[in-house]
Amino acid sequence: MVQAGNLKHRAAFLEAGVKVQIHSQSEPPFVQELGFGVAPGFQTFVATQEQRER
């Protein structure tokens, strides 16, 4: 759970919520490019499936 009181606020941002990216531990996150947003006040479900390259 993310608690809003623990977050640093920036006046320049007009967005609310969190951005999420699920990635391998061996890969760096690219949240801005590959992540998806989760809006506050809504319940969000996410399903994942592992894919391995051969």
**Model confidence pLDDT, tens digit, residues 9-25:** 555 556 788 999 988 88
Residues 19, 37 contacting (CB under 8 angstroms):
yes
Q: At residue 44, does pLDDT exceed 80?
A: yes
Q: Please give the residue range of the domain that contains residue 42.
A: 1-54
Report the pLDDT value the prediction gives residue 8, as an integer from 0 to 100: 59
Please give the tally of structural domains in the chain. 1
Q: Find the length of the chain.
A: 54
